[in-house]
Structure 1
Amino acid sequence: MLSVKDAEAIILNLVQPLDAQRDVEIVDLWAASDRILANPITSQLDFPHWDNSAMDGYAVRYEDVKQANAEQPAILEIIEEIPAGYQPKSTIQSGQAARIFTGAVIPAGADTVVMQERTRREENRVLILAAPQPQEFVRHKASYYQAGTQLLPPGIKLKAAEIAVLAAAQCPEVKVYRRPRVAIFATGDELVTPNTPLQPGQIVDSNDYALATLVRESGAEPLLLGIVKDNPDALQQTIAYAINNADIVLSSGGVSVGEYDYVDKILEALAAKIHIRAVEMTPGKPLTVASFPNQHSALYFGLPGNPVSALVTFWRFVQPAIKKLAGLAEGWEAKFVKVRSHDELRANGKRETYIWGRLYLINGVYEFHKAGGSHSSGNLINLAQTNALAVLPVGQTFISPGEEVQALLLANS
């Protein structure tokens, strides 16, 4: 049985990010939210595009106003008014000023803006009542970004700020990585769909719904293959189809050691190399990870069938793998923080233990609150609204209230 750290290292080493030449598509900027940028972006525009004013006030020559004060104001002739979007027509000479507004182009000859609150206007003259700093309130051309240099690096997720930058740089279309395809299916004769009346012994398949949601949240496209009964031939056909049509395959159930757990045997029949069969963690011990070195690039995850185990193993191992595969240059690793535990937390110490609950910000400190009720791997009900998992390492059996604990942040944190 592998440690969690060893299993994580094996999985992330198996993941090869999408190809920056082959696995890309061009999308309209309106459709680029949360996509991963595939190539570096440069612009032929300087930012700012020209010297402009950061304030409503008056564009002046610093030499004319450097001694100004309320008792002896500098008195300047106003020769032009410059709103935003207007190209100045005049050059500011000694003893002159231009009325200017935020964002407007600084006129030739001026090098400083005096904010209007430090002035008094009298018809076509302005009295400067306080000396500014040299070049005050002037935003200089190319001071934010110089044309021809890298504006945005590849491998970043495009959020609101990045999309605003692309729009300002006049990039109406961008090249992004395609979304990874993730095939999902559940195994078991006992499973039925949510719209099927339950018979004794049957269980509604919730795993497919949860995993598909998590796959979408991770930036990938789910390929839903439904429920596969405990029939080796049907299961082999489904796995063969999945590895030929997806980048990652997720099955739930069938990876333990029961008489109807066929996944590992079928993978071996399909010439898979099985890298992981079990992980030293709870919930989530039965985990199969396989690759197909001679046939396919797909990475196979056989997740446990118990609902909580399936989600915990996804959060801990699959989600980082999808994010790395998707082309993210960094930030795809599982994210942990140290928090204060509100509750007593217990484990048997034999395996790394994950306890689900919620983080709350209380008096400036993040506090972990354990979900109420049974913490059985089959109890899906109290997993609702979970946004973090407290982690007790091997050998640790107890966390007292108020004690620090490491928490795994989930996608909805």
Structure 2
Amino acid sequence: MTDETTTSATTPDTSAGAAAQPPAVVRVDAEHSYDVVIGKQLLGELPRLLGADVKKVLVVHTEAMEASAAVVREDLLAQGYEALLAVIPDAEGAKSVDVVAFCWQVLGQSDFTRSDAIVSLGGGATTDVAGFIAATWLRGIAVVHIPTTLLAMVDAAVGGKTGINTAEGKNLVGAFHSPVGVLCDLVALETLPKWDFVAGLGEIIKTGFIADPVILDLVEANAEALGSWPASIDDHLWGVVRELVERSVAVKARVVSQDLKEASLREILNYGHTLAHAIEQVERFAWRHGAAVSVGMVFAAELARLAGRLDDEVVDRHRSILASVGLPLTYRGDRWEQLLAVMRRDKKSRGDLLRFVVLEDIGKVGRLEGPDPTLLAAAYAEISADAPTSRAVSL
């Protein structure tokens, strides 16, 4: 991966004045170009991202975001838009065909046309389902994402993947539909519970391992404060968090700009996700995504080590950096057969061939196809435990 599609994000100052910096803008070049704006107090950027032609806006949000959604709606009304609200369930419960059908009904009854738009306000699940609604209404209308969790800022809101779940698996129904803009307002993180924040670090650390080792250095240097969020918030930590978000988004922007529809390069963003999605499915989504990804990365690292493709030092670094912020490293040893069955249905598999994204070194990503079953079992034995090891796993 080269820096030819490098975004306009700048490295923030982590001094006392960092929180007052003007917003950073990361440019994503997909089927159309769009900005990811990172900073504080960003609502004034929304009309620019929506564009001049939009007349009606549906703000899709959860009940927990009701007060914030009302503020967004009032601001849109003041800007001359016709703005409506649609309340959906929280977390993975939102990602169902019934919720999508409800929102389609709202759009139809409100006469939304192709020149109108959707705004998502919430975490990753809200972003996924709102993006899917936008992708499918009239074969595609504009959507702006306003992610309110760390995980959503660095993962779901950027890249154009949308999706809902079925009984058979996570995100099996979806579409590629890039937003027209993303507002990562860091103010939303001030009230984010500790374990939601820590789970978001799982995806950030992933981008460090696959593409940007500076991310790993930043996390390691500030692990105690990051793992104590929000009690540890000060100007220095705000600067660190902002840089982590910018760097993580920039990694995803570069990858997506080169491979929107996951033909090849974009698969590297799935590092740790094959086992992670299986854990989420088996646990009926009671595990946070970032916590499952943490375990999935340790599994993938152990698998690569056993296959002779990754040295012990990098595997050990996986364990130390993830544990340092409170993320789990293990999963129940009695669930292997169940997990294996779910992984075979994963959309990254090809027929009966299991495929894993693995590291050969930090920033050097490869793929392991059809590994021997004994190798898989041996790697799983390295992460097996009697019970989860961190509160970060649960809702």
The TM-score normalised by the length of structure 2 is 0.29
The TM-score normalised by the length of structure 1 is 0.28
- Greater strand share, 1 or 2? 1
- Greater helix share, 1 or 2? 2
Structure having the higher Rg: 1
